[in-house]
Amino acid sequence: MALVENKTMGARAVFAVALLLFSVFGMGGCSGEVTVDQKFVNLFVELRIVEMTYGKEAPMTRLVRQELLKEAGYTREQFFAKTDEILNDERQWVPFQKAVNARIDSLLALPAEKANAPEIKPSRKLQTQMPAHKGGVK
């Protein structure tokens, strides 16, 4: 059983690497694009983030993965069947890859927006310290 799981995990690792390679090199457009299930895209990205955060084989990864799949309404088998379907169908693969890229970009943009946000300075009317004549800092 463990050998079967290792082979399955190896196939998934190949899928993840292929996804990253296609993301880096940005595949061209596709005529007659299919609609992408954004819920599945979000789940896929979240699961990859969990694996990168906790490690692929960590117990915490397994627990979080189970919870994410449950919240999204997928069993583990359904999730893997859907990823295999997308991987094996070029018409689905390219739009899916684009949607994953867009989702990752949106997540990466959040910290960048915070870093570039203007600093909010306290109003002159607000006293952050007690005035010196009332026993505050001199």
pLDDT (tens digit per residue) in 42-66: 999 999 999 999 999 999 999 999 9
- Is 96 part of a structural domain of the chain? yes
- Is 29 part of a structural domain of the chain? no
Domain count, the chain: 1
Q: Report d(CA 107, CA 96) in Å as an integer.
A: 17
pLDDT of 89 higher than 70: yes
Integer CA distances (angstroms), 127 to 123, 133, 138, in order: 8, 13, 14
Q: Report d(CA 88, CA 82) in Å as an integer.
A: 10
Looking at residue 30, what is its pLDDT?
A: 45
Looking at residue 28, what is its pLDDT?
A: 47
- Is 16 part of a structural domain of the chain? no
- Is 95 part of a structural domain of the chain? yes
Q: Which tokens is 53 given?
A: 């955060």
- Is 4 part of a structural domain of the chain? no
Of the chain, the percentage scoring pLDDT greater than 90 comes to 51
- Is 1 part of a structural domain of the chain? no
Looking at residue 34, what is its pLDDT?
A: 79
- Is 46 part of a structural domain of the chain? yes
For residues 68-97, give the mean pLDDT: 96
- Is 114 part of a structural domain of the chain? no
The domain containing residue 68 runs over which residues?
A: 36-103
Residue 15's nearest CA partner among 75, 70, 77, 86 is 86
Q: How confident is the model at residue 109 (pLDDT cuts 50, 70, 90)?
A: confident
Q: Does the model's pTM come out above 0.75?
A: no
